[in-house]
Amino acid sequence: MFKALKIREKLLLPIVLLVAVAIGSTYVLVDELVQTNAVFESLIKTKLKARFISKDITSQLSEAGRLANLLLLQREPADFNGTAEHLEQTLAKIGPRRDELRSLAPNSDAAINTATLALDAMSRSVKPALELKTARDHDGAVTYWGQNARSALLPALAAMNDTAEQLATAANDAVAAQVASTNDKIRSLVITMAVLITLIAAAALLIVLKGVVKPLNQLTGKITQLSSGDGNFELPEAERGDELGAMGKALLVFRSNAEKIKAAMSAEAVTVEIGEVITQAAQNDLTVRVNLADKTGFLRNIGAAINQLLERSNATLGDINRKTRQVADAVSEASAAVGQVSGGVRAQNTAVGQVSQALAESATAIRMVSTSANTANEKGVVAAKLVERGQLCAEDLLQIVEKIAQNSRKISQITQVIAGIANRTHILSLNAAIEAARAGEHGKGFVVVSQEVGKLAESAAQNAQQITDIVEQAAADAAAGRTASIEVKQTMDSIAGEVSQTSQMIRSIAVSMEEQQAMVTQIETNVVDIRGIASGNAVAAEEITATMIQLSQLATEQRQQLDTFKTN
């Protein structure tokens, strides 16, 4: 509630109080002075007027005394009658003044009575004195006046002077009393005012100290803190409704501005950092990243977005790189393969050409075969006859072989005899050698002979063995020859049967060869077609090869372009 009041309003309260106090005190003061004035006015109207009247009465009385003395001195009737008239007039004035004084100063009855006595004495004494005067009894007049009037005049004058004195003193006292009272009142008023003003001033000071200076100091402290760059403080002042609240709110704005400036300054550094990352990325290095650890706010978002972009570009380029590599490899492989196909198809083309040629040749061959088949048919008949002769020859052959077998057995027996002789000769040569040794010096020549005989026997035995082996082989061969001859004979017999069948078959071959010839002609036309197809394939394959080479170059260039990007 108090905090919601503005400083102006807070200070207005003591000021209003001060003004009220001032107005009140002035009013009281003025009232007091007015009263005093009224008192003075009444004093003047009563006491001082009464004093003046008593003085006036005194002077009238003195005038009357002087006129009476003048009257008494004058000798001429005209003079003393005139003075008597003047004296009567003067006495006539005193009567009303005495009545006025009585009403104004009721306490002075004694003095008034004395004056009345003197007045009455003088008024009564004028006519007798004048009559004495007229009668020219001047001394009598003086004596009469002296006796009747003069004695009353002096106490009256004294009484009137006293009254005047008393009234003056009373007036002085009243004024003094009134001034003292007014002074008292003004003093007390001033003291009250001073106390009030002091209290109000103290209250105002308290208000200023408590409601302005203290929060102002706090705010100043916070502003100082903020100016040093530390915006970390609470600002309850901002919720105040007064000027300090406005200041607090302004400080809040300052703080947010300061934070913004701080953020902007750190943002600049971060922007430069991000810029460097972007520059590096622009130079095809996709491995760089913005360090997000020390960043906040939208720059962090931007950094994250850039990182994401780089990440994706990196991944995509890496992926493209791999795929391009794969494509390049595949294209290169396909290029090689198509090149091989191309070569293969060219070879196939050549081969088909050769087949075509071969087919033409085989057509010729088949024609020749057909002719030959007819010839063969005729030859078949001749062959049958030849086979018959062959049968006879085979029988002769069998007999010859059997004879060879018998001869072989005989040779074998002879060879066994030769082997026995050789054995015995060998033993003899050994004996001869023993005997020759015994003969000593004389047997030396015989030793040589016996050795030669031994060698001979050995050679004979070996030859005999060889002959035995050969003969045994010959016997076995003869047996095989016999079997073969028998087979030949049987074969010849069956050939004889087959030859007639063959003859028949050759005739049918001749027929089918003619059919073949027709078929080969058909195949020849087909092969021409195939050759055309193969040739078309070859051409297409070669164009594909050329295209593949271009593609391969494209893929390689693409790969080289991609390789300029640094990825991971």
Partner 1 sequence: MVEWQEPLRLAARLTEAKFGLSQQVLGDRLASFLAALSPLDQMHLVNHLTHVPETDPKWQQLVEAMLVHETFFYRHMDQLDVVSREVLPLLRQRTGGAIQVWCAGCSTGEEAYTLAFLLRDAACRGRVLATDLSAISVAEAEAGLYRLRPGLNSFRTMPAHGWQHFDPHPSEPNCWSVATGVRQSVGFAVHNLMTPLMLPMKADLISCRNTLIYFSEDSLRQVEAMLVAASRPGTVLLLGPAERLRYTDVFVPMTDSHPQILHWPLPGGR
Q: Which residues bind partner 1 (CB under 8 A)?
A: 339, 342-343, 346, 529, 532-534, 536-537, 539-540, 542-543, 545-551, 554
d(CA 159, CA 152): 11
> Which CB atom, from 170 or from 538, has the smaller least distance to partner 1?
538
Instruction: Give me the least distance between CB of 556 and partner 1, in Å please.
Output: 13
Instruction: Give me the least distance between CB of 550 and partner 1, in Å please.
Output: 4
> Which CB atom, from 461 or from 551, has the smaller least distance to partner 1?
551
Residue 49 · residue 103 · CB < 8 Å? no
> Which CB atom, from 276 or from 529, has the smaller least distance to partner 1?
529
What is the helix (H) or strand (E) element at residue 460, kind and residue range?
helix 444-563
Instruction: Give me the least distance between CB of 329 and partner 1, in Å please.
Output: 17
Torsion angles phi and psi, residue 285, rounded to 5: -95, 105
Residue 364 · residue 434 · CB < 8 Å? no
> Which CB atom, from 93 or from 346, has the smaller least distance to partner 1?
346
d(CA 331, CA 399): 81
Instruction: Give me the least distance between CB of 557 and partner 1, in Å please.
Output: 10
Say if residue 272 is exposed, middle or buried (CB neighbours under 10 Å; 0-12, 13-18, 19+).
exposed
> Which CB atom, from 128 or from 339, has the smaller least distance to partner 1?
339
Instruction: Give me the least distance between CB of 553 and partner 1, in Å please.
Output: 9
Residue 148 · residue 125 · CB < 8 Å? yes
Instruction: Give me the least distance between CB of 331 and partner 1, in Å please.
Output: 10
Residue 71 · residue 142 · CB < 8 Å? no
Q: Spell 499-524 as b/e; 16+ CB within 10 A means b.
A: beebbeebeebbeebeebbeebeebe
Determine the angle formed by the axes of helices 297-439 and 243-282, rounding to 10 degrees.
30
> Which CB atom, from 253 or from 347, has the smaller least distance to partner 1?
347
Instruction: Give me the least distance between CB of 469 and partner 1, in Å please.
Output: 59
Instruction: Give me the least distance between CB of 540 and partner 1, in Å please.
Output: 5
d(CA 116, CA 135): 29
Per DSSP, the three-state class of 285 is: strand
> Which CB atom, from 178 or from 537, has the smaller least distance to partner 1?
537
Instruction: Give me the least distance between CB of 527 and partner 1, in Å please.
Output: 12
Q: Locate tokens 């009234």: which residue?
A: 167
> Which CB atom, from 350 or from 371, has the smaller least distance to partner 1?
350
Instruction: Give me the least distance between CB of 537 and partner 1, in Å please.
Output: 6
> Which CB atom, from 155 or from 343, has the smaller least distance to partner 1?
343
> Which CB atom, from 230 or from 529, has the smaller least distance to partner 1?
529
d(CA 173, CA 562): 127
> Which CB atom, from 384 or from 546, has the smaller least distance to partner 1?
546
**DSSP conformation letters of 507-564:** HHHHHHHHHHHHHHHHHHHHHHHHHHHHHHHHHHHHHHHHHHHHHHHHHHHHHHHHHT
For residue 132 the two structure tokens come to: 């004495």
For residue 387 the two structure tokens come to: 């086979």
> Which CB atom, from 313 or from 558, has the smaller least distance to partner 1?
558
Q: Among 338, 195, 173, 246, which Cα is nearest to 3's? A: 246
Instruction: Give me the least distance between CB of 306 and partner 1, in Å please.
Output: 30
Task: Say what the alpha-carbon torsion angle 498, 504, 507, 509 is, to the nearest 10 degrees.
Answer: -60
The angle subtended at Cα 347 by Cα 328 and Cα 548, nearest 5°, is 20
Instruction: Give me the least distance between CB of 539 and partner 1, in Å please.
Output: 5
Q: What amino acid is encoded at 562 in this protein?
A: L
> Which CB atom, from 360 or from 540, has the smaller least distance to partner 1?
540
Instruction: Give me the least distance between CB of 226 and partner 1, in Å please.
Output: 59
Task: Say what the alpha-carbon torsion angle 65, 66, 72, 76 is, to the nearest 10 degrees.
Answer: -140
Q: How distant, in Å, are the alpha carbons of 277, 316, 324, 336 from that of 561?
A: 21, 14, 11, 23
Instruction: Give me the least distance between CB of 549 and partner 1, in Å please.
Output: 6
> Which CB atom, from 57 or from 538, has the smaller least distance to partner 1?
538
d(CA 413, CA 228): 145
Residues 6+ apart with CB under 8 A from 412: 468, 471, 472, 475
Residue 457 · residue 431 · CB < 8 Å? no
